[in-house]
Amino acid sequence: MTIRIHLVGAAGYAAADLINYLARHPHAEIATLESHSAAGSRVCDQFPTLPHDRRIFDGEGTALRRVQRDEIVFLCGERETARELAPQFLAKGARVIDLSDAFRLQRDADGAVYGFPERYRDRIAQARLVANPGCYPTAALLALLPFAEFSANIERIVIDAKSGITGAGRKPALNKMFAEVEGNVHAYGIESHRHQPEIGQELAAVGITAGFIFSPHVVPFSRGILADCYVIGKKPFDLATLRATFERRYASSPFVEVLDNGRVPNLPALARTNDAQLALAVRNGIAHVMCGIDNLGKGTSGVAVQNMNIMCGLEEDVGLGARATVV
């Protein structure tokens, strides 16, 4: 089985990780690497981390001309581009995975399936258009969705999340320069954040309607997210019951590990993998769940490949077999 794949917006951080994952995928064949900004240049010149890839980036419109029915298109650019191009690829019979936020909210979905495999595997398998989740929502939802069993007890939720600088994308900007981020933890989006509606939508979908605060921060490393989620109940939570719930909830999820023996997520170990690590604690009756992921792996490109595998009837971990090693 060969899956022909087209990447549009192929010169960003997410696309670089996709190229790397797909290069070792036994069924993947990259047919198009389309980029407006990098057209005509070599992959290795744009991405020093891919030094042996001498393919040339294609110009705008190439993927739409080449794509055939049932081939996979990854849209890796901005939401406006995705809103314009997704219908055109779907009209040609392609299956589309969009990495932007164009179709994540139900009001914008246009028939898209939210690409969160740990909840929507069956729907993803039948989907023509998958809306890849945001990286912050992925970490938060992995930590919080098992609380659906305790929704009546939840009074408030606090999500304190920290992300590496690659979460802000590859376009140059003053606030992403080393001298601006080094030595600092930068809180932002305090009044509102674009990922908050996405998190709220998916919590409500499992019956969690309690109010929550989402506080994102940028920290001075390249990749990774640590989300500390605090769930305040009307009655105290019990750790043993929570652990049993989480282990049952993720028993069939190959990339999600519920840590034991006091271990906590290790972001360097998760780098360049599609793994997620969860650690649980209860203090003064308040549940504390820590989730660690790579924002470009499980948070973006890794889960995009996981979704592709599900759409194509493959095992979820094909091409994503690098496992995290915790020290």
Give me the catalytic one of 44, 76, 135, 291. Answer: 135
Bridge partners of 277, per DSSP, are 257, 292
135 a catalytic residue: yes
Residue 96 burial (CB < 10 Å; 0-12/13-18/19+)?
buried
Sheet holding 28-34, edge to edge: 28-34, 3-8, 72-75, 95-98, 129-131, 113-114
For residues 324 and 275, what is the distance between their CA atoms, to the nearest angstrom? 7
Residues 6 or more apart in contact with residue 118 via CB below 8 angstroms: 141, 142, 145, 250, 253, 256
Q: How many CA atoms lie within 13 A of 290 on its CB side?
A: 16
Residue 181's nearest CA partner among 136, 224, 218 is 218
Bridge partners of 131, per DSSP, are 98, 114
**179-218: b or e for each residue (b if 16 or more CB lie within 10 Å)?**
eebeeeeeeeeeeebebbbbbbebbebbebebebebebeb
**Residue 168: both structure tokens together:** 């802000």
For residues 295 and 272, what is the distance between their CA atoms, to the nearest angstrom? 9
Q: Which residues does the annotation mark as catalytic? A: 135
